Amino acid sequence: MSDSEDLNCGSGGGDDRFFGLRVASIFIIGVGSISGALFPVLARRSSWLRVPKSLFDFAKYFGSGVIIATAFIHLLSPALDALGSPCLAEGWQDYPYALALCLLSIFSLFITEFLAFRWGTAKLAQIGAKHDAHGHNVGSHVNHGPEGGMRTTHDHEEGERITPRKTKESDSVRDAELGIVHSGGSTPSSLDSAWVQVIGIAILEFGVVLHSVLIGLTLAVDEDFRVLFVVLVFHQTFEGLGIGSRLAFLEFPGHPQYQKWFPILGALLYGITTPVGIAAGLGVRSTYNPGSTTASIVSGVMDSLSAGILIYTGLVELLAHEFLFNKEMMNASNGKLAYAIGSMLLGCGIMALLGRWA
């Protein structure tokens, strides 16, 4: 039988074997996803679980590598395949729409963030403060990642558990850690700094959530379920670790209610998306065909946009700001730098390798 005869571009066609295991995958992947995302959040808050700072550093840099590899290997490549499917009209074959949508996503995020920074800077100027967007005046680029929240009273001691700073500080020192520099005598609102962090994490999580729902739908009806299932357990756990290591260091100065609940809710949201996708896929398994014309267009477009989100976030918000704009990293020892880069490359390599099967 030829490939054209095997091609099914209509409804139906989902694999219905291993139904019991597919149902169990909802809970197994859910536990792995939630555990990966929640562990860094809860470990940082725990008074009895003494997690070494080096382990948190590993999770952060490992997660950066995972996110970047996810963008290219697990999102952009499938998007190219989906929008190049022979089920689609000839017009889809005449232009690399997946790459164009990825570019659109990247520049849309850049313009949105740039305008947000202009607006935030103007608001801070009105109250006599200046936002140090790249940490050029003090420390690292605290407002695009967890670096600012990583400073503790025991950071110089190897093996110390990471805890929030509890010593009393002057307003000027505290504002410096938040990336806010006074230009006058008034006291700026640190909530502006916190929301910049929240927006960055929200953008990252939005891209990952879209991807997680799609792979859940695919897992529910895919013919290579057993291989894909095993790969996705690790995939979702590692990806959760990357998300959780950033949620753990979100700072909400003066707003402890946000500090307490937002990271946990973010981790739970990530954890349930793939199980929801699997459940939805099982519910429509008799009519849903992941290779159909409509499914190819929807998954291709969403994967392309999600790839752009993760590429921008991974390369700009995580990689550049954790290394190039991070004065702590610039002045770090060769050993610490090698540890950080090695952790990142390990995460990227493992996630890229998983793309061999999923």
What is the C-alpha to C-alpha distance for residues 275 and 21, in angstroms, rounded to an integer? 13
pLDDT tens by residue, 226-264: 888 888 888 888 888 888 888 887 776 666 667 778 888
- C-alpha distance from residue 61 to each of 21, 251, 272 (Å): 33, 19, 24
Residue 105's domain spans which residues?
Answer: 19-127+187-356
Domain count, the chain: 1
164: in domain? no
Most trustworthy range by pLDDT among 6-10, 46-50, 109-113: 109-113
196: in domain? yes
Strands (DSSP E) contained in the chain are 129-131, 180-182
84: in domain? yes
What is the C-alpha to C-alpha distance for residues 269 and 209, in angstroms, rounded to an integer? 8
The pTM for the full model equals: 0.72
Most trustworthy range by pLDDT among 135-149, 196-210, 332-346: 332-346
At 54 the pLDDT is: 81
How many residues comprise the chain?
Answer: 358
Average pLDDT over residues 11-31: 80
**Which is higher by pLDDT, 164 or 76?**
76
Give ∠ CA 60-62-63 in degrees, rounded to 5.
65
pLDDT class of 166 with cuts at 50, 70, 90: very low
144: in domain? no
45: in domain? yes
What is the C-alpha to C-alpha distance for residues 309 and 98, in angstroms, rounded to an integer? 13
At 19 the pLDDT is: 81
258: in domain? yes
At 253 the pLDDT is: 62
pLDDT tens by residue, 314-330: 898 788 888 888 888 88
161 backbone dihedrals φ, ψ, rounded to 5°: -75, 145
At 56 the pLDDT is: 81
At 193 the pLDDT is: 54
What is the C-alpha to C-alpha distance for residues 66 and 352, in angstroms, rounded to an integer? 8
At 169 the pLDDT is: 45
- C-alpha distance from residue 9 to each of 87, 156, 166, 289 (Å): 5, 60, 61, 8
What is the C-alpha to C-alpha distance for residues 112 and 318, in angstroms, rounded to an integer? 17
pLDDT class of 17 with cuts at 50, 70, 90: confident
306 backbone dihedrals φ, ψ, rounded to 5°: -65, -40
